[in-house]
Chains A and B, each alone.
Chain A
Amino acid sequence: MTAPAPGPPGAPILRRTPADAPFFDAAARGELLIRGCPACAYALPMDAYACPHPEHPPGADGLGWLPASGRGTLVSWSSVHRAPHPAFAGQVPYTIALVELDEGPWLEARLVGADPAGLRAGLRLRAAFVHPADPADGESFPVFAPDHPTPDHPTPLATGDPAP
């Protein structure tokens, strides 16, 4: 990582469930998956239960996973100064981002490799992944960095390469 890693130690530990094992298996490989309808390849928000097309099968078994480019744009952001959880006390201030993936869904993620004072909605972003050193520290998860390297942060993607 090019910025203080938001992952362990200290971060709350992220665990998988059987239903989203594909997402975390992909994250461990440095690939971003999103929820989608296999019947129409429609990308859905991460909390989706069903495709908007009523004839397509609903529910956990009906929805599948689609590969995402890992690229998106900045919708909103915040530099967080008061730790909202004791585990983040050593990380404040840190910057969070609301990212619109190019496929449509939004993700909230840690923003790294960017000066918060220079942020603007529409900034192009690219996913990278935090990989806990020890499986006991939980699952890999995505963070986002500006898609274009800056002099301060020549290599925003230090770990893994997002899925094409």
Chain B
Amino acid sequence: MQGRPPRTDQGRAAALVGLGETETGKVYGRTARDFAAEAVRRAAADAGLRLADLDGLLVASGLRHDLDLTLANALGLTDLRLLSQVNAFGATAGAMVQYAAEAVLSGAAVAVACVFADAPLRPGKSTGVAYSTDRPLPPGLPGLRAAAGVFGVNTLYALAARRHMEAYGTTSEQLGAIAVQQRAWAVHNPRAQMRDPLTLADHQASRWIAEPLHLLDCCLVSNGGTAVIVTSPERAADLPAAPVYIWGYGQGHPGNRYMRGSDFGLRTGAAAAGPAALAMAGIGLDDIGMLQLYDCYTFTVLVTLEDYGFCKKGEGGDLAASGILGPGGSLPTNTGGGQLSASYLWGMTPLAEAVNQLRGRAEPERLVRDVDFAMVSGNGGILDHHSTLILSGHDRRTAGRP
């Protein structure tokens, strides 16, 4: 999609100058810490930086909390001016990039690495086992839902998706259209875990996990790590790689309460985060040439499209079924296959794909050309937490000037 030319703006936008991705998927025998260290080293090398040039590190772990500040020691980083763990569940990647951007623009740090890594898969165990929750029930009232069999994210996202279906007539076939279009992208992505072409019939025939969610509505489980380096636009200009600039960001945490009037399943933090990020960037939805949306489930993509305003509330199913998200469509979305078909490294999956695309690093069959702005989402909890990034190859200091 051809966007309008970027507008002149006096503002500075921080820059993503390095991306480091480890081998991802069924990669066994390595810890999250090992993946994280490799990802940071790769990201620094990609940026043309030495590890000693980093003065900030933001660390995010998966559900097992097996990654922490000691990663800095493992990497031999000294005299850091910024070092923290960040956790906003699935919204973490966008939040980390936001905090890193604010740090480098304020001068609190010069070059900040943001890293996520996870290693839930074990050889010989199913992907379901990796995230199954076989721990004891929490005692007291918090244990009530689990005693009922409402246990883990699949059952809760199923309740969210069913509520949307009841309210707006959304169908399983419309959710399936998202899985099919993302797989069509993954076919051209050698790094994707699932590359066989997928039909809507395949989606409908896949086994139920928790109705209305079929197996093919649910994301993969992956081992691996991804890191990015954020620096100031001035520092980025001295580095060899083409920067990707962070024009806008936003978060939304609606705090839906479990009581009458709740928007649970109907409206998410994307409705606040998306417009905030667009306003910061000074652009509109028409300027977005590519979407990289957090897709823990097909439904998450559908409701995010609605909340960002790409269609009216309740019409996300029609938009998905129209086919515009896939290769050749007018709204290229999750162009590497996303978490459904490529790999699941939480919010790093959509972020890394946006960076690679904006730098032209994708196979010709799936490279989306002439994109001025990409919109990247993160989603955490049960649609409780949302982060949005607006990324561009245009330097905001000079964009639109003659």
Report which A residues bind B (CB closer than 8 A): 6-7, 11-17, 19-20, 23, 43-47, 75-82, 84-86, 88, 91, 93-94, 96, 98, 100, 104-110, 116, 120-121, 138, 141-143
B211 cross-chain contacts in A, Cβ below 8 A: 78-81, 116
Partner of A96, one of B139, B155, B212: B155
4 interchain residue pairs of minimum CB distance: A78-B158, A17-B140, A84-B151, A121-B166
Chain B: which residue is nearest A104 at the CB level?
B260
Interface contact A85-B133, CB-CB below 8 Å: yes
B150 cross-chain contacts in A, Cβ below 8 A: 96, 108
Q: Is B137 an interface residue (CB 8 A)?
A: yes
How many of chain B's residues touch chain A, expressed as a range?
35 or more
B257 cross-chain contacts in A, Cβ below 8 A: 45
- Nearest-CB distance from B397 to chain A (Å)? 46
Partner of A108, one of B144, B163, B209: B144
Chain A: which residue is nearest B144 at the CB level?
A141
Partner of A106, one of B148, B208, B210, B258: B258
Interface contact B163-A109, CB-CB below 8 Å: no
A44 cross-chain contacts in B, Cβ below 8 A: 259
Interface contact A96-B144, CB-CB below 8 Å: no
Q: Mark B241-280, 1 if CB is under 8 A from A, else 0.
A: 0000000000000000111101011000000000000000
Interface contact A85-B152, CB-CB below 8 Å: yes
Partner of A85, one of B151, B262, B265: B151
Q: Is B132 an interface residue (CB 8 A)?
A: yes
Q: Mark B295-324, 1 if CB is under 8 A from A, else 0.
A: 000000000000000000000000000000
Interface contact B160-A105, CB-CB below 8 Å: no
What is the bound-complex CA distance between A88 and B258, given in angstroms? 25
Interface contact A17-B144, CB-CB below 8 Å: no
Q: Is B76 an interface residue (CB 8 A)?
A: no
Interface contact A81-B208, CB-CB below 8 Å: yes
What is the bound-complex CA distance between A35 and B155, given in angstroms? 24
What is the bound-complex CA distance between A43 and B257, given in angstroms? 12
What is the bound-complex CA distance between A88 and B259, given in angstroms? 27
Q: In chain B, residues 101-146, which have Cβ atoms closer than 8 Å to a Cβ of chain A? A: 128, 132-134, 136-137, 139-146
A106 cross-chain contacts in B, Cβ below 8 A: 258-260, 262, 264
What is the bound-complex CA distance between A47 and B384, given in angstroms? 15
Most chain B CB atoms below 10 A, which of A15, A98, A107 = A98
- Nearest-CB distance from A70 to chain B (Å)? 15
State whether A94 and B149 are in contact (beta carbons under 8 Å apart), knowing that A78-B162, A81-B207 are contacts in the complex. Answer: yes
Chain B: which residue is nearest A92 at the CB level?
B149
Q: Is B201 an interface residue (CB 8 A)?
A: no
Interface contact A81-B132, CB-CB below 8 Å: no
What is the bound-complex CA distance between A75 and B264, given in angstroms? 10
Q: Is B159 an interface residue (CB 8 A)?
A: yes
Interface contact B259-A141, CB-CB below 8 Å: no
Interface contact A108-B145, CB-CB below 8 Å: yes
Interface contact B258-A13, CB-CB below 8 Å: no
Partner of B259, one of A16, A85, A104: A104
A121 cross-chain contacts in B, Cβ below 8 A: 163, 166-167
What is the bound-complex CA distance between A151 and B277, given in angstroms? 55
What is the bound-complex CA distance between A45 and B216, given in angstroms? 33
Interface contact A96-B137, CB-CB below 8 Å: no
Most chain A CB atoms below 10 A, which of B148, B209, B260 = B148
What is the bound-complex CA distance between A49 and B314, given in angstroms? 33
Interface contact B159-A82, CB-CB below 8 Å: no
